[in-house]
Amino acid sequence: MASNSMRTPAMNQVIPNEIWVSLESEDSTTMKAVRASHAPDGRKVDVKPMLRIIDNILLRAAPGIVEFHIILIHADKLSFMHGTYEDKGSLKDHIISRSDVDVKLKTLASIIKKVSSELFSYNNLVLSGTFKANSNVNQTIIPYGATMDCKCSCSGGRDVNATVMMILDTLSSYSWDAKVVLTVAAFIVNYGHEFLLFTSSEANNSALAQSIAFLKQLRDITDHAKFSKAKIDAIIELIKVIMAVTRYIVELHNLPLESIATDETPMSNAKAFIPKAAYWTMLSVVICASYIASLSGHEESTTELLDLARLGSEGSKILVILRSYKTIYKEYEDEKSKPAYWDLVKTVTSTHSDNVTILKTLLLVNDGKQHLVGHTNKRIHIEELREKNVFLLVSGLDLSKEEIDVLGKLYQEAKTKGEIQYEVVWIPVMETIAWDQEKQQKFEELLALMPWYAVPAPSKIKAEVIKYIKTEWKFERKMIFVPLDRQGKFGSLNAIDMYLIHGNKALSSIFSEKEESLWETQKTWTLELLLGGIDNNFSHVLDWTKQGTMVCLYGGDDIEWIREFTKATKDAVKNISSATRLELVYVGKKSAIKEVGNINTSIENENLSRIWSDLTSIWLFWTRLESMLYLKMQQCKNSRNDLIMQELTTLLSYDDSDRGWALFCKGSSEMALAKGDVALKSMEEFSEWRDAADQNGLFPALSSYIKKSQKKQHCSRIILSGDRQEIPSKKLSSDGCECSMEKCFVYRCCAD
């Protein structure tokens, strides 16, 4: 950071008055120069991954700043000046994993390095100049704006505004949001993260931070000495506002303002205001970097504190303006879509003789083209769907390969032998952000995996259609599968769950909204219900049970437990006097599908048991269980009286525990389920129930011992994918526990 020197009172400079004038006027010479420096070349930079990386750094150095600027975006009532906020909200989807940093970000490393050199050059110049007004001071710390002769090799005399303009010139070809995020990234990497690490509340307890600070002679920072604490606090408050303004610039820049007529004054003002907000952000970054670089070894300056406070105040004003523009845009969009939205609702809810009117209402995009596109670039006219049953598949661009594979197999099966023929149309629903080449590429990659058709231009889906899907169909993130029959009547909105459970057998019930009838013949917990209709892997298990073989399905992601359990089970079976055949089959873990592939390899290499090698089938196994539970929760008034719901809840709660589980099956309906520790203990203590096994058989003796060993479960949990808003708060109870589970929300960045 800096070398130690004393600062004289004569050197306590204020920010030049022309800078404050620039921030208050849209037509100042400085702002004209800022706008003139903007020469975008059309390149597209997705700054959101970069912003998440910055968040990731700040989260570890100063969590309060991340919390402030993220929640600020969603708050309804704010007090910017003191860094406080109402609407606590929750942090969600803002922490990234290493896998998110792809090669595209690496291409920005050189430009960040170049901006960093501009910041460093400015602050190095400030720190190594000689102040003319005091001949007794040879090497001292000069604030920005002071007159000096430079004795280093860099170009001399540059003030803070000149530095900002140089950075703007370096970033001239980038969009405004990219300019700001790249500048902030350079600042955080070179100044901010270290400063915040030393000044965070955890620094006093961190031997690492204390040691680094000692070596860099930054004792005044980590000790929070009286003469520097006020400035440290002021810098932290300013960084909070910098990050909040940065995020608003990104949010506002990515709104499709170009879709609004040019005579809409508020929106044209919004586009014109972004350069000013960007200038304030970059100016504040340069000033923050300068003050951080000069923190060590000088007296506190009152004028510096006033400058920092005034900068923060100007930033707060900018935040209010940016937020007002975002609110205006939302109101504009809402008002613009109201008549069209209610026309759409009227059309969709009216009676029709066929489905074409509704399909055109929902699928026609803003360019008016009446075709759909397939994976081979084949196009069909919407009219070709007339008098056909149609599933509307609604999702974002986060559909998994497993989801597409499962639905694709059922679709192809229906095409070849299904009694009810149907078509599928994919409607990709995006948030209100700019559609770029990256999203287009992702859309095309997913479409290439699909054997059906899609809306050809997701970015041009009408706003009222998006609003209807989110409002009436409750779409958020998890895919939905909405059936529309040939007469233009919508079927069950639970179609995806029914479809995954029963396959194409469910089609007649789905299109007639008679989902309860699918359960009338299935009132007991059986192996056919658990496994039926998925693929050949599962039919083998059913064949074994019909031949008298006892089957043990087991799961989890603890490979050590798997080794111990499979060995103990094999040893127990060997020691039974009567001839007994038992097959062990590993079925994975719901929340760790990717890891299951590695576990499968270990099990196969070590010959521990049989496996299901098809990860798509394993995904379907667990997803079907979730779907069964979801439908049962909607239908069941008392979960304690429903055996299927009890077993589903218990199995899913065991899977979400830290270790494994095992389900022993004899025939179709005799099953004994045990949590991992009980299953292992039961097998290791085989000598305790060996006599009973010899007399009565393996399954009765094992089942009895498990029930005796199984303690009441005092704490269970089930993590369901997506937010099932229709699920009541208290509805579930697992086997062996007298308490009901409470519904809560778990936010995480990925499923694995």
Report all structural domains of the chain as residue ranges with CATH numbers, in order of start.
Answer: 9-330 (no CATH), 356-520 (3.40.30.10), 527-742 (no CATH)
Give the span between the Cα atoms of 73 and 112, in whole angstroms. 26
What mean pLDDT is reported for the chain? 75
Mean pLDDT is lowest, of 169-178, 342-351, 369-378, for 369-378
Average of per-residue pLDDT across 625-640: 76
Chain centroid, CA 129 distance in Å: 48
Average of per-residue pLDDT across 158-174: 87
Q: How many Cα neighbours within 13 Å face the side chain of 442?
A: 15
- Grouping H, G, I as helix, E, B as strand and the rest as coil, residue 185 is helix
Whether the pLDDT of residue 425 is over 50: the answer is: yes
Confidence of residue 1 (pLDDT cuts 50, 70, 90): very low
Asked if 320 contacts 80 with a C-beta cutoff of 8 angstroms, the reply is: yes
Mean pLDDT is lowest, of 575-579, 636-640, 695-699, for 636-640
Please give the model's pTM, rounded to 2 decimal places.
Answer: 0.59
- Grouping H, G, I as helix, E, B as strand and the rest as coil, residue 672 is strand
pLDDT winner (highest mean) among 507-516, 599-608, 715-724? 599-608
Residue 347, φ and ψ in degrees, nearest 5: -65, -45
Average of per-residue pLDDT across 92-121: 63
Mean pLDDT is lowest, of 260-269, 507-516, 705-714, for 260-269
Whether the pLDDT of residue 729 is over 90: the answer is: no
The pLDDT of residue 7 = 36
Residue indicated by tokens 């920092």: 308
Amino acid (1-letter code) at residue 323: R
Maximum Cα interatomic distance, the chain, rounded to a whole number of Å: 105
Give the span between the Cα atoms of 449 and 409, in whole angstroms. 12
H-helix or E-strand spanning residue 584: strand 582-586
Chain centroid, CA 52 distance in Å: 11
CB atoms within 10 A of CB 35: 14
Sequence-distant (≥ 6) Cβ neighbours of residue 185 within 8 angstroms: 50, 53, 54, 112, 115
The pLDDT of residue 503 = 85
Q: Return the closest-CA partner of residue 515 out of 632, 393, 425.
A: 632
Give the span between the Cα atoms of 193 and 67, in whole angstroms. 16
